[in-house]
């Protein structure tokens, strides 16, 4: 039997925390990706940045303004970050094998042989980014214990979805890893039916939700998420679910982008 990865939790690299905040307050980034209020959520954590970032600035100029604010917040919240890091590490030590095995079971695949660890980093951030290739993700110390567990499980679901996708369709082009690729939209939508599967809820008894607009915006008279859940309920396999759901997303991608950001 193939060994499962080990989930490790550590404090964020301060430089990467700066990079993330600088990206999220960038006017250019927010014009390109309207799925979430990236700038507003960053300003909620760093109100001192509001009004200091303008559209004519370079990335380097934005980063120079952001850096001292992030460093100060990391210093002020060092104990909180350590507390959340310790909490998450202890939590996942208890369920590491059960959770990762269940994620593989739900996706009807296996963790890749070369994946020995999954790295989680806790920082002072307003969103939870991930890298599905390296199996690294980031969470915020500002979240309460339930929110931070839900966010972590959400990101690990994306890792398994990525592996299943490769199994079905082959290698993923770099442009299809992020917004506004139809594959990316489906990856974000699929967390609801996949993580609310009874096999996952038996281990992490929390309700999981995707982006709010997937529940409120409609395509062909039904909420986007109702379509996705319907494909999951009617599946004969996870591959069938992914193929049918992707066909729907790809076929309606212009409307989805217009309505969902």
237: confidence class by pLDDT, cuts 50, 70, 90: very high
* Region 72-95 average pLDDT: 98
Residue 170 to residue 173: CA distance in whole angstroms: 9
158: confidence class by pLDDT, cuts 50, 70, 90: very high
Q: Which two tokens stand for residue 251?
A: 């076929």
What confidence score (pLDDT) does residue 1 get? 62
* Region 176-199 average pLDDT: 98
Residue 245 to residue 228: CA distance in whole angstroms: 6
Residue 203 near residue 98, CB atoms below 8 Å: yes
Buried b (16+ CB within 10 A) or exposed e, 36-60: bebbeebbebbeebeeebeeebeee
* Region 9-38 average pLDDT: 97
Residue 42 to residue 126: CA distance in whole angstroms: 6
* Region 132-159 average pLDDT: 98
Residue 56 to residue 24: CA distance in whole angstroms: 16
Q: Could you tell me which residues come within 8 angstroms of residue 161 by beta carbon, excluding any fewer than 6 positions away?
A: 107, 187, 190, 194
pLDDT (tens digit per residue) in 84-96: 999 999 999 999 9
Q: Could you tell me which residues come within 8 angstroms of residue 25 by beta carbon, excluding any fewer than 6 positions away?
A: 38, 39, 42, 43, 46, 49, 53, 62, 66
* Region 192-207 average pLDDT: 98
Helices assigned H by DSSP within the chain: 14-25, 27-32, 38-45, 59-76, 78-107, 145-169, 182-195, 198-201, 213-216, 224-233, 238-251, 253-260
DSSP sequence for 192-204: HHHHTSHHHHTTS
> Phi and psi dihedrals of 24, rounded to 5?
-70, -25
78 alpha-carbon distance from chain centroid: 24
Residue 155 to residue 95: CA distance in whole angstroms: 16
Per the listing, tokens 């590491």 go with 96
What confidence score (pLDDT) does residue 3 get? 87
């Amino acid at each position: 039997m193939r060994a499962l990865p080990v989930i490790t939790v550590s404090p964020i690299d301060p430089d990467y925390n700066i990079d993330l905040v600088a990206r999220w307050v960038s006017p250019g980034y927010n014009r390109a990706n309207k799925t979430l209020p990236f700038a507003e959520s960053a300003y909620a954590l760093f109100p001192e940045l509001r009004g200091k970032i303008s559209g004519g600035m370079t990335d380097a100029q934005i980063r120079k303004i952001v850096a001292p604010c992030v460093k100060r917040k990391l210093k002020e919240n060092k104990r909180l970050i350590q507390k959340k890091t310790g909490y998450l590490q202890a939590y996942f030590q208890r369920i590491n094998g059960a959770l990762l095995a269940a994620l593989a079971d739900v996706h009807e695949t296996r963790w890749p042989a070369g994946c020995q660890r999954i790295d989680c980093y806790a920082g002072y951030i307003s969103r939870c980014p991930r890298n599905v290739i390296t199996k690294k993700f980031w969470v915020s110390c500002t979240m309460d214990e339930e929110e931070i567990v839900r966010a972590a499980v959400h990101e690990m679901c994306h890792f398994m979805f990525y592996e299943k996708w490769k199994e079905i369709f082959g290698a993923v082009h770099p442009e299809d890893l992020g917004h506004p690729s139809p594959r990316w939209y489906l990856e974000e939508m699929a967390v609801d039916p996949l993580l609310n599967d009874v096999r996952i809820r038996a281990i992490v008894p929390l309700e999981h939700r995707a982006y709010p607009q997937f529940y409120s915006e409609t395509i062909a008279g039904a909420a986007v998420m109702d379509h996705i859940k319907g494909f999951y309920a009617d599946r004969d396999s996870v591959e069938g679910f992914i193929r049918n759901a992707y066909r729907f997303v790809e076929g309606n991608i212009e409307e989805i982008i217009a309505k969902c950001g």
